[in-house]
Structures are given as C-alpha cells and as structure tokens.
Structure 1
Amino acid sequence: MAYLISFFTIGIIWVNHHALMTNIRVVDRTLLFLNLLLLLFVVVIPFATATIAEYLTSGGSDAHIAMALYALVFEGMSLAFCFIFGWSLGEGRSHRPVPRERRGRAWLQFGVGLLVYLVATGVAFVNAPAALAIIGLVAVYYMVDPRPAAVRRAD
C-alpha cells in the first residue's frame, strides 16, 4: 500500500509540476533552486517508503517513527511546491497569472497538503496505519483536478 501511495504521489507531483512549469514565462536562479528543493524531497520518497514498508509490518515505536519520517518527507515536498507556487505569483513570471481575487483560494488548494501532512505526522505517533491513510487521501485530493491551482482559470 505504501508503495502505491508513493508511486501515485510522485506521479501527481510530476504531472502538477509539469502543468505549473508550462505556465512559467521566465526562469531564474531562485526558481531553479526551488525546483532543486522540491527534487530533494521527491528523491527521498522511495527511501521513506522502504522504511515504512519495513517497520510498519513489525509495529512498535519504530513503526511510528518511520511513519512520522514518511509524513515529514511529504510535508517538505509540499512546502517546496508552495514556494514554487508563491514564486510563480510574481509579476511577469506566468503566461496566465492567477488573478488577485483567486489567489486566496489557490493558496488554500496548495496549502491543504501542508496542513494535512503535518496532521499525519502527529497521527503517526499514535496510529501509523491511520497516518498512511491520511497521506493516501491527500494523493486522491490532488488527483481530482489534474491542474494545479496556479493554472486554473475562472471560465
């Protein structure tokens, strides 16, 4: 189950990153380093997945720590994605900028992961399988609309 959640999450990251980047008009060093930060967390997902696969079946405190680590990796990935989104809101950086009146809603859509992954981290110390289910639900949430909020337009 952890492998499938990780696989779909990495796929969703890739799809949403692609959609966000196709809207970018200019690339600067800041954006490159923000992308590098995102990549840092994405490449750790398989390690974190292997860790929970090993410890979740054995139970005990190690399972809780492994699940908290897994959730924190997703928290870091979500934070990096939010940084990239925030950067994209700068003047002249996007082909189709998010209108000012829609930015609050867009931030809310981007920020759901930040909050829920943090909750999953806390839940991991009490119930590791429940934390995994929470992380899986975030993947479903981000699959519902394949475009990140940054490129949605009010039609």
Structure 2
Amino acid sequence: MNKGRLEAFSDGVLAIIITIMVLEIKVPHGHDLKDLKPLIPIFLSYLLSFIYIGIYWNNHHHMLHTAKQVRGDVLWANLHLLFWLSLIPFVTGWMGENHFQAMPMALYGIVLLMAALAYFLLQRRIIVSQGENSILKKAVGKDIKGKISPIIYLISIAASFLSGWLAGGGYVLVALIWLIPDKRIERILKETKD
C-alpha cells in the first residue's frame, strides 16, 4: 500500500488534536490582564502538549519518509500511536484545570509513556517491513533518546505524587531532548541518494 494515505490521515488526526486542545482554552469573562491569570496553568499545559504533538508530527513525518510502502501491521501500529496521541487533549485539559495535581499529572505521564511505546512499536514494524537493509534501522541506530524517554516518564509518573512541578520538569526534559532536531534520518537519506 502507498504510504500517502497513511501520512494524510495521520496529519489530519494530529491537526484535529491541536485544534481540540486550543478550543479547550476558554475566554475569560473580563477585560483586564488579571482576568487571564487563572488561565496560566491551562496555557502552560497546552504549550507543553502542543510541543509534544509537534515533536510527534515532525518525527512521524521523517520516519515515514524512509518507508516506500506500508503493510497492514504498520497501519495498525500507526492507529495505536494515534489512539494514545488522541488522549492528549483530555489529559492536558485535566492537568491544566486542576493546577498540576498528582493524579492528572500521573495520567498525563501515562499517556505520554504509552504514546512513546506506541511510537517505538510503529518504528519497529516499519523496520521489519523494510527488511534488514532498512534505512530507518540505519538511521535509528542505538536510539538512546528512545530508550531514556520511557525511563524519565516512569520516574516522572512516580514523582507526580510527590510534586506536580517535579513531574512536569521530567515531562519538559523529555520534550527538550526531542525538541533538538534529529538529523539521523535526513543524513541517512542523503547518503543513500548519493
């Protein structure tokens, strides 16, 4: 199957996720800057989740760029990833509305952890479908970022019951790790064209 439909569907779902998140930010009934103060936790949770969705969109795009075609198992793995990403608006809203309390922070981390594991599964399915000479396999290499992210998520989930801010710091740390542009796939693609 051509990967174009998979990419288009995934892009659409991610765009809807971002739209849902921003629509959850309610306009305050007031005209002063002080009326925006109660929205600070909601905006901060939105900002973090927006960055996460952007990271997933960017990496998903690069990962699919290595595939020539997709099989059924890749389609299902992609849907699995989109399922967990589609829960981000809910946990983002709950986290922001409750000012980073323990349970919303923990659930936010669980959804991030599950999305990371789903992304890993999708990555593995693409590598298997492309065979031993997979461009993606060469590009991923040891995948240090992919291995340490779930560990930080688990620590942050546990930390959420001590301090919401400590857990949030872990989630921000993972976002920062992935925010740095990853040139592995681009480099391997360029090498294969040369």
| TM-score, with length taken from structure 1 | 0.83
How big is each residue's C-alpha offset from its partner over 1:27-47, in whole Å with a ceiling of 9 and x where there is no partner?
Answer: 111111111111011111111
Aligned CA RMSD, in angstroms, stands at 2.3
Aligned pair 1:25/2:71, yes or no? Answer: no
Compute the displacement of 1:25 (Å).
Answer: 2.2
Runs of 4+ in 1 over 6 A off after TM superposition: none
Counterpart position of 2:23: none
In the alignment, structure 2 segments of 5+ residues that lack a partner are: 1-43
Aligned pair 1:137/2:173, yes or no? Answer: yes
How big is each residue's C-alpha offset from its partner over 1:102-146, in whole Å with a ceiling of 9 and x where there is no partner?
Answer: 73x22x222222111111111111111111121011111101124
In the alignment, structure 1 segments of 5+ residues that lack a partner are: 58-62
Q: Which has the higher contact order (CA 8 A, sep 6+)?
A: 1
How big is each residue's C-alpha offset from its partner over 1:33-83, in whole Å with a ceiling of 9 and x where there is no partner?
Answer: 1111110111111110100111126xxxxx101100000000000000010
* Correspondent of 1:85 among 115, 123, 128: 123
Compute the displacement of 1:89 (Å).
Answer: 2.2
| TM-score, with length taken from structure 2 | 0.68
* Correspondent of 1:126 among 159, 162, 169: 162
Relative to 1, partners in 2 of residues 1:118 and 1:76: Cα closer, same or farther, differing over 3 Å? same
How many correspondences in the alignment?
146
Relative to 1, partners in 2 of residues 1:26 and 1:111: Cα closer, same or farther, differing over 3 Å? same
Compute the displacement of 1:151 (Å).
Answer: 5.7
Identity among equivalent positions (%) equals 25
- 5 Å-filtered alignment, 1:6-155, equals 6-56=49-99, 63-90=101-128, 92=130, 96-99=135-138, 103=141, 105-106=142-143, 108-147=144-183, 153=188
Compute the displacement of 1:97 (Å).
Answer: 4.0
Larger radius of gyration: 2
Distance between the aligned counterparts of 1:21 and 1:109, measured in 2? 19
